[in-house]
Structure 1
């Protein structure tokens, strides 16, 4: 295992996917439709594979992320990180290992004990029906966990459908099966029915992570709005050879930020313009990620805080340290994102131009306390 992991990190400098999609590539489309009442939707969009261009990645790959976030060249815990998801992705294990092989990571399979997929009750079968959009989401999730933590084991818990109660059940099942980190790349509207499920997203000794949403500054997304959940916003990543880091980040325009209408202000949040819980807590790249999805033709590029959340979940898994969102506040070990906003049509006017939708020095809602600078903050 150690020899193979060394091979992964040895290719970081040499394997780097090009940014963006190819000229003439189709525009990104939402992977999942808007959720029906009482349901959630996955939070990703993708550019469909282009004939002749789908046999190699065209977005940011694992080595790019390792470079941008200064991840160490070796090491990591074998933490069990779980993915809470709806429906089945029959090719998930194959797609995951195509991704890992492309970027020099060891296999993560059912046979070697690294990968496991179960239904919401924790059984190997029967699994739910296939749904293509959610399969794209599943593939993105396991790929981003792998990029952040090549040594982590992965558990995928598939709900029968994206009803709120079924999604909450997947989190409870994941924890029961031993997951120390659970990633949730979906969201729905805050309401009383959703809040009744809050206890499923609060488990002592387990870190629960959720995507903040892909609609910019708007109403808060559940479960990201819960104070027991690490809410993860998104950034746009670019190379910047003029800087010591070699990379630059700005707010991804879709990055979800919000003031909760239901969740009380946690004592660890000190911002002034939300009377209740503010989303987000932290951020990571959410745009132009390369993943392999056989069901849509091969290598595609994807956007969304659905990428940011599992990447942060993988960092928790890699350190083997677990906690609550409040543990991130006041720590060092973050890049401060100070440019961009998630209110592109109004240039930040929707929130009055303040930190709720415009990047500022220090805490701001679209990117929280910032993006990871290594593993120190986790």
Structure 2
């Protein structure tokens, strides 16, 4: 899926995905869980299965391009609607039907940090093509949830091309615009006090997306979120050196949505590879429960042992002699998805999204709450130093594999969820 060299086939087609509803409990919500959405009717006696489709950018627009890792809910009853007793809503609804900022902050122990941390930090979002409505859609999301305004005028938001231009931007693309809205909304949900830099590559090739990563770092971002991927190749080690070797910068990359199997750049030894979970409310002490996100043998969070990238020194699992995916994880199951506001190329309104395109910007936001990494550090190693500050995910799998922890959750490290999900910011502090 690269243009230079070699070109690669797409990882995913244009087929619709049909998902099964994640196991959500009817337990009472924990204190502070509520969002700006209020229950309007009792939940139906039998919740309809959640259905979704891959966003258009999950099918590369041109040969040699990478795929985004996002899925949009098209029907059924989401975990959020079950928990809040809300009647299921159609796509492009006037109110959200997925988890919002207070839900995500509560689930990951970030409520206090999100309200007080992140000021002065810049989180970069790297995506392909242009979303002309990025700023206005971001404003709609933040306004609905009571987050402070983040605009070009107040210096919080900036959109540039891969060359840093604010005026010469790539061609518009409605599929990548959905991805951009998802990414912007997730970093806003987790780190609402941080500044946001959107860097738009002129196309979805590794060369252009990688150039956009370099531009984000050049412009001062210490946190860079990437929600795309493709097949591994022998060129990946050179891409590591050219685009992802940035000490002192937390670079997060989604692990993929095609189930068990390694993707790049999630396999880069310089990035934090982010897997995906199903997230539901529970009556336990935490108030939430998570398992590996898996819809089918061909859809779910990515994981696996890289064929090319060397193992970083901080990874100590013994079954994989090279780089292992993932490092950490966060919610990605569309059935337990997140709310996103989008208007470019679709009916303006609220949509529910999943995919590891949700989990990567969430983790980038957590890094921003944890504080600026030291200039010589590789933040991917931070969680390995304090695993007690993570929620260990111990159930579920994302496919079949010979070495069980490559695809099956267990106590401690495993491929699909890495070391676990955030439990506050301690595991992400250098």
1:104 aligns with 2:146: yes
User: What stretches of structure 1 of length at least 5 have no aligned partner?
Assistant: 1-10, 344-349
Deviates most, 279-288 or 40-49? 40-49
Q: Secondary structure at the match of 1:377?
A: helix
In structure 2, which of residues 253, 271, 277 is the aligned counterpart of residue 235 of structure 1?
Answer: 277
Aligned to 2:416: 366
Distance 1:53 1:351 in 2: 39
Aligned to 1:264: 310
Q: CA deviation at 1:103?
A: 1.3
Equivalenced residue count is 359
Aligned to 1:145: 187
Q: CA deviation at 1:102?
A: 1.6
Distance 2:104 2:171 in 1: 33
Distance 1:229 1:187 in 2: 13
Cα distance per residue 1:217-271 (max 9 Å; x no partner):
11x2111101100000000000102x01111001111111011000112221111
Aligned to 1:7: none
1:338 aligns with 2:398: no
Distance 1:214 1:84 in 2: 18
Q: Secondary structure at the match of 1:273?
A: coil
Alignment of 1:156-305 (within 5 A): 156-199=198-241, 200-218=243-261, 220-241=262-283, 243-253=284-294, 254-287=300-333, 288-295=337-344, 296-297=346-347, 298-305=349-356
Aligned to 2:85: none
Q: CA deviation at 1:317?
A: 1.0
Alignment of 1:50-69 (within 5 A): 54-69=93-108
In structure 2, which of residues 368, 372, 376 is the aligned counterpart of residue 317 of structure 1?
Answer: 368
User: What stretches of structure 2 of length at least 5 have no aligned partner?
Assistant: 1-30, 76-88, 295-299
Q: Secondary structure at the match of 2:276?
A: strand
Distance 1:205 1:62 in 2: 27
Kindly report structure 1 stretches of 4+ aligned residues shifted beyond 4 Å: 16-19, 21-26, 48-53
Distance 2:415 2:33 in 1: 33
Cα distance per residue 1:88-116 (max 9 Å; x no partner):
11111111111111211101000100000
In structure 2, which of residues 91, 105, 111 is the aligned counterpart of residue 72 of structure 1?
Answer: 111
Aligned to 1:135: 177
Q: Secondary structure at the match of 1:189?
A: coil
Q: CA deviation at 1:53?
A: 6.2
Distance 2:196 2:189 in 1: 12
Aligned to 1:29: 53
- Relative to structure 1, the CA distance from residue 313 to residue 44 in structure 2 (aligned partners, 3 Å threshold; closer, same or farther) is same
Distance 2:275 2:128 in 1: 21
Distance 2:117 2:327 in 1: 24
Distance 2:196 2:128 in 1: 16
Distance 2:91 2:221 in 1: 39
Distance 1:215 1:321 in 2: 33
Aligned to 2:381: 326
Q: Secondary structure at the match of 2:362?
A: helix
**TM-score normalized by the length of structure 2:** 0.79
Preserved CA contact (<8 Å) 2:222 2:250: yes
Distance 2:201 2:406 in 1: 33
Q: CA deviation at 1:194?
A: 3.8
Q: CA RMSD in A?
A: 2.2
Preserved CA contact (<8 Å) 2:236 2:309: no
- Relative to structure 1, the CA distance from residue 18 to residue 274 in structure 2 (aligned partners, 3 Å threshold; closer, same or farther) is farther
- Relative to structure 1, the CA distance from residue 112 to residue 105 in structure 2 (aligned partners, 3 Å threshold; closer, same or farther) is same
Distance 1:51 1:283 in 2: 29
Distance 2:403 2:318 in 1: 14
Preserved CA contact (<8 Å) 1:252 1:341: yes
In structure 1, which of residues 47, 56, 81 is the aligned counterpart of residue 73 of structure 2?
Answer: 47
Distance 2:319 2:49 in 1: 41
Q: CA deviation at 1:17?
A: 5.6
Q: CA deviation at 1:29?
A: 1.1
